[in-house]
Amino acid sequence: MGKDSVTIFEAAIAHENCYSLVDVLIKEGNVIKLIEVKSKSWDQNKEFLTSRGKSIRSDWQKYLYDIAFQTWIAKKAFPNHVIEPYLMLIDKNKATTVEGLHQYFEIYHDENERSQLRLTVPPEQLNLGEQILKQINVSEEVKLIFEGKGRMPNSELEAKGFDEWIMGLANLVAQNEKYPTLISSSCKKCEYRIQASDLKKGKACGFNECWAQALNWGEKEFAKPHAIDMWYSNAGKLLEKEMYMMDEITPDFLGVNESTLYNQTAWDGGRGKRQLAQVMKMTGRHDDREVVLPGLFHEMETWTYPLHFIDFEGVAPAIPFHKGMKPYKKTPFQFSVHDVDADGKVTHVAEWIEKERGKFPCFDFIRELKKVLDGDQGTVFMYHHYERTTLRDVKSMLFHSSEHDKDELIEFIDTLVSKDHPRYMVDLQQLVVEYYYSVHMKGSNSIKYVLPAIMNESAFLRVEYSKPYSGLSIQDKVLYVEENGITVNPYTLLKPLDLRDIPDDLDDIIEGFNTELSETIADGGKAMMAWSRMQFYDVTEEEREMTFKGLLRYCELDTLAMVMIYQHWIFLKNEFSFERNKHN
Report d(CA 138, CA 64) in Å as an integer: 8
Q: Which residues of 557-572 are buried (b: 16+ CB within 10 A; e: fewer)?
A: bbbbbbbbbbbbbbbb
For residue 46, give the CATH number of its domain: 3.40.1350
Exposed / middle / buried, residue 206 (Cβ in 10 Å: 0-12, 13-18, 19+) = middle
51 pLDDT band, cuts 50/70/90, is confident
In a domain, 309, yes or no: no
Report d(CA 453, CA 290) in Å as an integer: 10
Please indicate, yes or no, whether residues 152 and 206 belong to a single structural domain of this protein.
Answer: no
Q: Element (H or E) spanning 326, and its range?
A: none
Please indicate, yes or no, whether residues 138 and 213 belong to a single structural domain of this protein.
Answer: no
Please indicate, yes or no, whether residues 142 and 48 belong to a single structural domain of this protein.
Answer: yes
- Quote the pLDDT of residue 538: 74
Minimum mean pLDDT among 168-177, 302-311, 413-422, 484-493: which range? 484-493
- Quote the pLDDT of residue 498: 54
- The structure's pTM equals 0.87
Decide which of 517 and 165 is more confident.
165
Number of domains in the chain: 2
Q: Which of 119, 143, 174 is the C-terminal boundary of a domain?
A: 174
Please indicate, yes or no, whether residues 11 and 149 belong to a single structural domain of this protein.
Answer: yes
Q: Which of 143, 174, 205 is the C-terminal boundary of a domain?
A: 174
Asked whether the beta carbons of 487 and 452 are under 8 A apart, the reply is yes
Rg, Å, the chain Cα set: 27
Please indicate, yes or no, whether residues 137 and 248 belong to a single structural domain of this protein.
Answer: no
Q: Which domain holds residue 234?
A: 185-290
Please indicate, yes or no, whether residues 193 and 278 belong to a single structural domain of this protein.
Answer: yes
Please indicate, yes or no, whether residues 193 and 161 belong to a single structural domain of this protein.
Answer: no
Q: Which of 149, 174, 199 is the C-terminal boundary of a domain?
A: 174
In a domain, 34, yes or no: yes
Please indicate, yes or no, whether residues 200 and 168 belong to a single structural domain of this protein.
Answer: no
Please indicate, yes or no, whether residues 272 and 215 belong to a single structural domain of this protein.
Answer: yes
Asked whether the beta carbons of 198 and 178 are under 8 A apart, the reply is no
Please indicate, yes or no, whether residues 33 and 149 belong to a single structural domain of this protein.
Answer: yes
In a domain, 478, yes or no: no
Is residue 557 predicted with pLDDT exceeding 80? yes
Please indicate, yes or no, whether residues 192 and 77 belong to a single structural domain of this protein.
Answer: no
- Quote the pLDDT of residue 35: 97
In a domain, 556, yes or no: no
Please indicate, yes or no, whether residues 11 and 61 belong to a single structural domain of this protein.
Answer: yes
- Quote the pLDDT of residue 516: 35
